[in-house]
Amino acid sequence: MNVLPADGRMIPKWRYGWGCLLLLPVAAWLVLFATGSLLVVADPVRSSDAIVLLSGGGNERVGEALNLYGQGKGDILILTDTGDVYPGSNIAAVRVLREELLKRGVDEDDILITRGMSTSTYDEARHVLTAMINNELESALVITDPYHVFRTRLLFREVFRGSGIRVLVQPAGDHWYKPATWFFSTRGWRATISEYSKLVALLFGVRGG
Domain boundaries, the chain: 11-39, 48-172+186-195
CB 207, CB 155: distance < 8 Å = yes
Q: What CA–CA distance (Å, rounded) separates 82 from 56?
A: 8
Q: 61: how many CB neighbours lie within 10 A of its CB? A: 22
Query: Which architecture does CATH list for 48-172+186-195?
Result: 3-Layer(aba) Sandwich (3.40)
Read off the pTM: 0.86
**Predicted confidence band of residue 1 (pLDDT cuts 50, 70, 90):** very low
How do residues 100-135 score in pLDDT, each as one tens digit? 999 999 999 999 999 989 999 999 999 999 999 999
What letter does residue 167 receive in the DSSP assignment?
E
How do residues 13-26 score in pLDDT, each as one tens digit? 555 565 566 678 88
Using left for φ > 0, alpha for ψ between -120 and 50, and beta otherwise, residue 205 falls in: left
Measured over the CA atoms of residue 153, residue 157, residue 159 and residue 160, the dihedral's sign is: positive
